[in-house]
Amino acid sequence: MAQENFTFTLPDLGEGLVEATVLEWQVAVGDTVERNAPLVEVETTKSAVVIPSPKAGRIVELHAEEEQVVPVGDPLVTFAVEAAADAPQAGIVGRVPDEEARPARRVRLRPPSD
Amino acid sequence: MSANLVGDVTIRYADLHPQVPGDGVPVLLLHGFGTDFGMNWRAAGWVQALGAAGTRVIGPDLRGHGASGKPTDSAFYLPEHFVADLVAMLDETGVDKVDVVGYSMGSRLAWELALTAPERVRRVVLGGFGAKNAFDGADLSDPGSGDTPFDLVYRTVAALPGNDAAALAACARAQASRPFDPDPPLTGIPLLLVSGARDALAEGAAELAERCGGTHVEVPGRDHANAVSSRAFRQAVLDFLAD
């Protein structure tokens, strides 16, 4: 079945906080996690929280070490998730890529050097 | 779901049934000073962990905290008033007996509940708590002005949105007027204490556990603010409450 990677960034934890420290990962690369299962424990200047997993999937990459400070919006973890059945997929008849996704024209000013 | 208990102070509480109910005793979660049920327990992963274990979770916003009433007269915050709220809440929810898990001030109240109404309590967990007087050296006419562990906690929580500094100060004064007394010890009810190895407010936890014939688990590297969300703490409690 098709899988796609999804990167979860550190969410806004409220109260104007701009960063959090990773205390302890509750998952490891290769683990399969359920949605809402404990993902990572982080601490801000206000409190310590356990962030639940936003997706069901397999952990592909952890983007921060324990004790590392992560700004809100920076990558936290990448999951491989099952592609939704109705998601755009290459090769399905009758579905064309969005117009915006295609460059209007390609201009090569200079030949590749290698 | 959440509901409100109407008394001299209105108490908001959560009563959360697991999707797949087990046959275990419900757990009553008592948060610490200046936080609330959502912040101390839900955000720290406890509702998820207990729910996954099939446990019904009941947890108030203690008076003066969260979505509950916040009187500013310290007479409302004597320990017996908190205990009366808890017993009324157990009556209201039709729960005969609970396992009570407290953190910090919530641990002190868990202790009081177990002494006052032992027939309502099966097991007790005291987190972030020792025999030490939490208010030692603090000037409670101006809480937050000093450098004691309590002042540090007060400064952190007084600034949290939704908190009423006057209500918290009144609560602190009332609690301090009845310093925790380890006598009589809590015996006859299984007791677990859990605290961060760097938690200055939980000094004496091991001795208190020993006096009561209980167990103390120390979470390495953690302090008063971040022991509560640690996996080691949750696991120790799940193990203690199992069977």
**Residue of chain B whose alpha carbon sits nearest to that of A38:** B45
Taking the Cβ of residue A3 and every Cβ of chain B, the question of whether any pair is shorter than 8 Å is answered with no
CA distance A40 to chain B (A): 10
Q: What would the pLDDT profile of A46-82 be if each residue is shown by its tens digit?
A: 889 999 999 999 999 999 999 999 999 999 999 999 8
Closest CA to A58 of A75, A35, A81: A81
Residues of B with CB under 8 A from a CB of A: 35, 39, 43-45, 48-49, 156, 160-161, 225-226, 228-231
Global pTM value: 0.88
Q: Which residues of A touch B16 (CB under 8 A)?
A: none
Question: A41 vs B228: CB contact, 8 Å cut-off?
Answer: no
Q: Decide if B205 contacts B216 (C-beta within 8 A).
A: yes
DSSP letter (8 states) at residue A5? E
Rounded average pLDDT over B184-211: 95
ipTM higher than the 0.90 cut: no
- Give me the amino acid identity at B45: G
Instruction: Decide the pairing of beta strands A75-82 and A69-71.
Output: unpaired
Instruction: Write the CB contacts of B228 (distance below 8 Å, at least 6 apart in sequence).
Output: A48, B32, B40, B44, B103, B127, B128
**Three-class SS of residue A69?**
strand
Q: What would the pLDDT profile of B136-185 be if each residue is shown by its tens digit?
A: 889 999 999 999 989 988 998 988 888 999 999 999 999 999 999 999 99
Give pLDDT, residue A101.
47
Question: B229 vs A38: CB contact, 8 Å cut-off?
Answer: no
Cα–chain center distance at A52: 14
Nearest CB to A41; choose among B48, B161, B230: B230
Alpha helices, H only, chain A: none
Question: B229 vs A50: CB contact, 8 Å cut-off?
Answer: yes
Q: Hey, what domains does chain B have and what are their CATH numbers?
A: 2-132+182-242 (3.40.50.1820)
Cα–chain center distance at B121: 14
**Confidence check: pLDDT of B35 > 90:** yes
Give the burial string for B82-97 (b: 16+ CB within 10 Å, else e).
bbbbbeebbebbebee
Question: A48 vs B229: CB contact, 8 Å cut-off?
Answer: yes
Rounded average pLDDT over B187-200: 96
Work out the pLDDT band at B132, boundaries 50, 70, 90: confident
Q: Mean pLDDT across chain A, nearest whole number? A: 83
Kindly list the domain boundaries of chain A, sorted by start residue: 2-83
Q: Decide if A3 contacts A82 (C-beta within 8 A).
A: yes
Give pLDDT, residue B50.
95
Rounded average pLDDT over B91-111: 97
- CB contacts < 8 A (A, B): 46
String of DSSP letters for chain B: -EEEE-SSS-EEEEEE--SS--SSPPEEEE--TT--HIIIIITTTHHHHHHHTT--EEEE--TTSTTS-----GGGGSHHHHHHHHHHHHHHHT-S-EEEEEETHHHHHHHHHHHH-GGGEEEEEEES--SS-TTTT--TTSTTSS-SHHHHHHHHHHTSTT--HHHHHHHHHHHHHS-----S---SS-EEEEEETT-GGGTTHHHHHHHTT-EEEEETT--TTTSTT-HHHHHHHHHHH--
Q: Decide if A47 contacts B39 (C-beta within 8 A).
A: yes
Burial (CB < 10 A; 0-12, 13-18, 19+), residue A10, is buried
Nearest CB to A52; choose among B48, B161, B230: B48
Domain A2-83 CATH class label: mainly beta
**Confidence check: pLDDT of A112 > 70:** no
Q: What would the pLDDT profile of B54-72 be if each residue is shown by its tens digit?
A: 999 999 999 999 999 999 9
Q: What would the pLDDT profile of B37-50 be if each residue is shown by its tens digit?
A: 999 999 999 999 99
How far apart (Å, rounded) are the C-alpha atoms in residues B54 and B42?
16
Question: A52 vs B230: CB contact, 8 Å cut-off?
Answer: no
**Confidence check: pLDDT of A41 > 80:** yes
Query: What's the half-sphere exposure (Cβ side, CA atoms, 13 Å) at B70?
Result: 17
**Confidence check: pLDDT of A45 > 50:** yes
Q: Which residues of A touch B225 (CB under 8 A)?
A: 43, 47-48
The rounded percent of chain B whose pLDDT value lies above 90 is 86
**Residue of chain B whose alpha carbon sits nearest to that of A13:** B43
Residue owning tokens 């990558």: A75
* Phi, psi (rounded to 5 degrees) for B199: -90, 105
A38 preceded by cis ω (within 30°)? no
**Distances, alpha carbon B18 to alpha carbons A50, B21, B47, B57, B236, in Å:** 19, 5, 9, 8, 20
Question: A49 vs B44: CB contact, 8 Å cut-off?
Answer: yes
Nearest CB to B228; choose among A15, A48, A52: A48
